[in-house]
């Protein structure tokens, strides 16, 4: 049997393979990327399920529209207009099977084999996987403390057939970095001169525990802007519910056709239930609880790093989200360190899978959302003894 080129070139998830090793109960794991279960409002969801079933009965179980449940799209539009000063309507929104699906659909409708995709370096692994299925040419642009490097971005935009730029502007996965206001303006200026889709993937934006919310780079201003959101980090990832926002009607129509052909529509039970939950609960208060927890955990990790890590290890200081990114400035291979760390029952994700062109990197992603401050201190201490 001869398989397709696209699947032979798609990396299987390094992280999911790592998780199989790191799942043992005596391992302190910073390898995952799971939200803390505190983010699942179980009792409120149970109430919403009962109410939605009572009110809508069989509609929760029948085939449904590809674009998604209108009241939920209306809720999302209202929220983004209110919180971010956008001017979007429910027609500008399509609900997806998690925002992972949105990534795959975007590449599917925009990218012919060999077309260019600009991606942050390091970049989100799930995006690299999803995009690879469309067999693009990747143009990685270095992600710095305040956002992507502008000179490299300008150069990448000169390449032939560049179709899209993929960014995670807030608390990026894997680095935890956030674009500065100034950098957002500069990226907007640069991108607005090109016929290219700017994707802002923002699953973590609401989980800010320091600093002020910043305006999106292109959303609401740029014709070819696409904003992605998700309920995975604030309500539940298990129900797989994300969304695409764009005012480019032609693009959204193509995404809808691709979604139809891909899985017909998003689980409608989940759409009714999550809408009911959002409409009947104090969501901001719920998110506040998640933020408080993650801030405590992030603080614990940063303090332990300051206390234990040798001077040659640098690391990011996230203002929100779920990750810290560490760099071994003495050139140690993160994969070598990973093996030694596993001997000490502590795990993280070596940086390699976050690059489209990995070459034995010295970087690593550390997640803090599923460990207690005590476990975090102990794990960082063990790690430090290897460096």
Query: Does residue number 326 form part of the binding site for its own copies (CB under 8 A)?
Result: no
Query: Does residue number 372 form part of the binding site for its own copies (CB under 8 A)?
Result: no
Least distance in Å: CB of 212 to its own copies?
A: 30
Shorter beta-carbon distance to its own copies: residue 3 or 284: 3
Structure tokens at 174: 């894997």
Residues 137 to 166: which contact its own copies by CB under 8 A? 163
Using a 10 angstrom Cβ sphere, with 0-12 exposed, 13-18 middle and 19 or more buried, the burial of residue 82 is exposed
Number of residues that bind its own copies (CB under 8 A): 78
Using a 10 angstrom Cβ sphere, with 0-12 exposed, 13-18 middle and 19 or more buried, the burial of residue 63 is exposed
Least distance in Å: CB of 246 to its own copies?
A: 11
Least distance in Å: CB of 50 to its own copies?
A: 8
Query: Does residue number 63 form part of the binding site for its own copies (CB under 8 A)?
Result: yes
Residues 330 to 369: which contact its own copies by CB under 8 A? none
Least distance in Å: CB of 302 to its own copies?
A: 25
Residues 164-183, mask of contacts with its own copies (x by CB under 8 A): --------------------
Shorter beta-carbon distance to its own copies: residue 91 or 182: 91
Helix (H) or strand (E) holding 308: helix 283-308
Candidates 100-108, 165-173, 279-287, 331-339: pick the segment binding its own copies (CB under 8 A).
100-108
Rounding to the nearest 10 degrees, give the CA dihedral for residues 18, 19, 25, 27: 40
Residues 66-95, mask of contacts with its own copies (x by CB under 8 A): x-----------------------------
DSSP, residue by residue, 68-127: --HHHHHHHHHHHHHHH-----GGGEEEESHHHHHHHHHHHHH--TT-EEEEEES--HHH
d(CA 321, CA 300): 14
Distance, CA of 40 to chain centre: 18
Candidates 22-30, 116-124, 148-156, 246-254: pick the segment binding its own copies (CB under 8 A).
246-254
Using a 10 angstrom Cβ sphere, with 0-12 exposed, 13-18 middle and 19 or more buried, the burial of residue 381 is middle
């Amino acid at each position: 049997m001869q398989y397709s080129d696209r699947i032979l070139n798609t990396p299987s998830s390094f992280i999911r393979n790592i998780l199989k090793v790191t799942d043992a109960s005596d391992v302190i794991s910073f390898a995952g990327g799971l939200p803390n279960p505190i983010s699942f409002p179980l009792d409120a969801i149970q109430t919403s399920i009962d109410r939605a079933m009572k009110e809508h009965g069989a509609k929760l179980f029948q085939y449904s529209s590809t674009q998604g449940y209108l009241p939920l799209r209306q809720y999302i539009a209202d929220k983004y207009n209110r919180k971010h000063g956008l001017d979007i309507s429910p027609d500008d929104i399509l609900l997806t099977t998690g925002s992972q699906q949105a990534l795959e659909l975007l590449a599917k409708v925009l990218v012919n084999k060999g077309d260019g995709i600009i991606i942050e370096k390091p970049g989100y692994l799930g995006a690299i996987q999803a995009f690879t299925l469309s067999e693009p040419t990747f143009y990685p642009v270095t992600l710095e403390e305040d956002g992507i490097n502008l000179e490299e971005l300008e150069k990448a935009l000169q390449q032939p057939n560049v179709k899209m730029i993929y960014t995670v502007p807030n608390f990026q996965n894997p680095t935890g970095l956030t674009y500065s206001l100034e950098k957002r303006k500069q990226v907007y200026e640069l991108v607005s001169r090109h016929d290219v889709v700017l994707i802002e993937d923002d699953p973590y934006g609401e989980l800010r525990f320091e600093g002020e919310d910043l305006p999106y780079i292109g959303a609401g201003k740029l014709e070819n802007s696409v904003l992605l959101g998700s309920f995975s980090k604030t309500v539940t990832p298990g129900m797989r519910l994300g969304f695409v926002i764009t005012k480019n009607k032609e693009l959204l129509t193509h995404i809808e056709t691709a979604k139809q052909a891909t899985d017909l529509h998003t689980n409608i039970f989940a759409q009714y239930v999550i809408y009911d939950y959002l409409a009947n609960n104090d969501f901001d208060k719920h998110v506040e609880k998640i933020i408080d927890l993650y801030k405590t955990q992030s603080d614990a990790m940063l303090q332990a790093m300051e206390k234990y890590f040798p001077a040659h290890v640098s690391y990011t200081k996230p203002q929100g989200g779920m990750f810290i990114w560490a760099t071994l400035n003495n050139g140690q291979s993160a994969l070598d360190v990973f093996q030694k760390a596993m001997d000490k029952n502590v795990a993280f994700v070596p940086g390699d899978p976050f690059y489209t062109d990995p070459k034995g990197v010295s970087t690593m992603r550390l997640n803090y959302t599923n460990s207690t401050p005590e476990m975090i201190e102990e794990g960082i201490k063990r790690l430090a003894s290897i460096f």
